[in-house]
């Protein structure tokens, strides 16, 4: 029988790498809490229509990348992203009375695409959504939060915030007409996918990965040329707010979002530290999304970041905790070692109790797991109510009364 392997595009996250993932998620959650965002979770699968409505039936995600199946006559899809799930949860749970709603999420997403560095078919995201605030201050705070997370992870200086405005609905309509007029002259040279989108959703062509489409799009009109006065004022307020928060940015007039419910702010934090330039965090304002899904008109803005990509950028995290190894010198001290282990754990220490082996083998295990301290329990020590405490880094050791262990080990809690 051939050796078992994970499905292509999936991978096992072993303990050392899991610590990096946990660092990304924990740092993001902690910063989000400081900004008033509460954590929530949605199911990892939804009715397929949730994503078709939100992502558009001509998008690559819907047509090529979703994992969909039928169960009991229902069309079900593993979530390719989480904004749609949060919007659906907002409608399903009647959360309109809780506006403004500020939520943080984390978890696995699924897209069928070519696996590459930092991008798998099962991948993980962290993200935030802020619903119910139409003011550009919401955009400022959401982007400042994203920058703060990157700073907390020590990777902000490896990224660049790219920023653009998509304008309001009136501006987008004006731009769409100009864009279609330009693309009609190149219709026969567009890819098959882009020709299909030309009539239904021409802004999606701006996101095309086809090289021929990219060359055509390079000469297309810019969104900024179609902005009305209200959209210009919104963008000016956003830039002023980011300047006040000390968030650096680079204007990118080619940065777009192809779906109609997006408006005003579009942004991405990109990096070239992973080889080719790649996006590690992206977001935007989506004032029309919830209404398009059948809910009440509700403005919103949010972002999502790939945990795998961020984990590749962060410095190697230290041990998850100062581990203390409790080592009975002989089998007669096993019960005492077990009792001491449980006592220390309930006092807040991370404690490892080897299951078998002599003192030498247990000391080797303590060294292997990176234990900070080893506590040796022998017959003589226990007779006088003490233990030998050895600092694994310096080699220094001392007899310590058992009832003083908690205070003497406080630095390792």
Average pLDDT of the chain, as a whole number = 89
Nearest to 224 by CA among 162, 280, 175, 190: 175
- Rounded Cα distance, 374 and 227, in Å: 67
- Rounded Cα distance, 200 and 187, in Å: 14
Summarize pLDDT for 38-80 with one digit per residue, the tens: 999 999 999 998 888 777 655 666 667 888 989 899 999 999 9
* CATH number of domain containing 394: 3.40.50.800
Same domain, yes or no, for 271 and 327?
Answer: no
Same domain, yes or no, for 331 and 236?
Answer: no
Indicate the residue among 313, 332, 357 that finishes a domain. 313
Indicate the residue among 313, 345, 374 that finishes a domain. 313
Same domain, yes or no, for 92 and 48?
Answer: yes
- Is residue 180 situated within a structural domain? no
- Which of the pair, 95 or 356, is modelled with greater confidence? 95
From residue 93, alpha-carbon distances to 71, 88, 378 in Å are: 24, 8, 60
Whether the pLDDT of residue 15 is over 50: the answer is yes
- Taking a C-beta distance cutoff of 8 angstroms, is the pair 118, 312 a contact? yes
Domain span at residue 271 reads 15-168+228-313
% helix / strand / coil in the chain, to the nearest 5?
A: 45, 25, 35
Summarize pLDDT for 329-343 with one digit per residue, the tens: 888 888 888 899 899
* pTM, rounded to two decimals: 0.86
Indicate the residue among 313, 331, 347 that finishes a domain. 313
Name the domain count of the chain.
2
Same domain, yes or no, for 85 and 163?
Answer: yes
Judged by average pLDDT, the poorest of 42-46, 114-118, 149-153, 249-253 is 114-118
**pLDDT of amino acid 330:** 86
Same domain, yes or no, for 25 and 100?
Answer: yes
- Taking a C-beta distance cutoff of 8 angstroms, is the pair 28, 305 a contact? yes
Whether the pLDDT of residue 2 is over 60: the answer is no
């Amino acid at each position: 029988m051939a050796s078992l392997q994970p499905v292509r595009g999936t991978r096992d996250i072993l303990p050392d790498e899991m610590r990096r993932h946990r660092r990304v998620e924990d740092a993001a959650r902690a910063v989000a809490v400081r900004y008033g965002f509460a954590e929530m979770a949605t199911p990892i699968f939804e009715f397929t229509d949730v994503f078709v409505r939100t992502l558009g039936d001509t998008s690559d995600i819907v047509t090529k990348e979703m994992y969909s199946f039928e169960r009991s006559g229902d069309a079900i899809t593993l979530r390719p992203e989480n904004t749609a799930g949060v919007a659906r949860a907002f409608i399903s749970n009647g959360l309109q009375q809780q506006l403004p709603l500020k939520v943080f999420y984390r978890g696995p997403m699924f897209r069928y695409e070519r696996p590459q560095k930092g991008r798998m078919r099962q991948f993980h995201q962290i993200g935030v959504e802020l619903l119910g605030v139409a003011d550009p201050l919401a955009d400022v705070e959401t982007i400042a939060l994203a920058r703060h997370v990157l700073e907390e992870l020590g990777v902000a200086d490896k990224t660049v915030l790219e920023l653009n405005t998509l304008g309001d609905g009136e501006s987008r309509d004006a731009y769409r007409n100009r864009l279609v007029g330009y693309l009609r002259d190149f219709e026969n040279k567009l890819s098959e996918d882009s020709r299909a989108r030309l009539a239904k959703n021409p802004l999606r062509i701006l996101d095309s990965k086809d090289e021929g489409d990219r060359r055509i799009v390079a000469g297309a009109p810019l969104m900024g040329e179609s902005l009305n006065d209200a959209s210009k004022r919104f963008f000016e307020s956003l830039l002023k707010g980011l300047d006040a928060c000390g968030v650096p940015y680079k204007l990118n007039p080619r940065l777009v979002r192809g779906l109609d419910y997006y408006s005003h702010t579009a942004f991405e934090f990109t990096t070239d530290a992973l080889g080719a330039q790649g996006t590690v965090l992206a977001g935007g304002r989506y004032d029309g999304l919830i209404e398009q899904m059948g809910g009440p008109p509700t403005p919103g803005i949010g972002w999502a970041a790939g945990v795998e990509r961020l984990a590749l950028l962060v410095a190697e995290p230290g041990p998850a905790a100062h581990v203390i190894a409790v080592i009975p010198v002989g089998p007669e001290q096993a019960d005492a070692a077990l009792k001491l282990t449980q006592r220390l754990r309930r006092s807040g220490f991370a404690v490892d109790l080897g299951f078998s082996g002599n003192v030498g083998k247990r000391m080797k295990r303590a060294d292997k797991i990176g234990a900070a301290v080893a506590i040796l329990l022998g017959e003589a020590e226990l007779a006088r109510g003490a233990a030998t405490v050895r600092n694994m880094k310096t080699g220094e050791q001392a007899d310590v009364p058992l009832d003083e262990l908690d205070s003497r080990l406080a630095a390792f809690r």
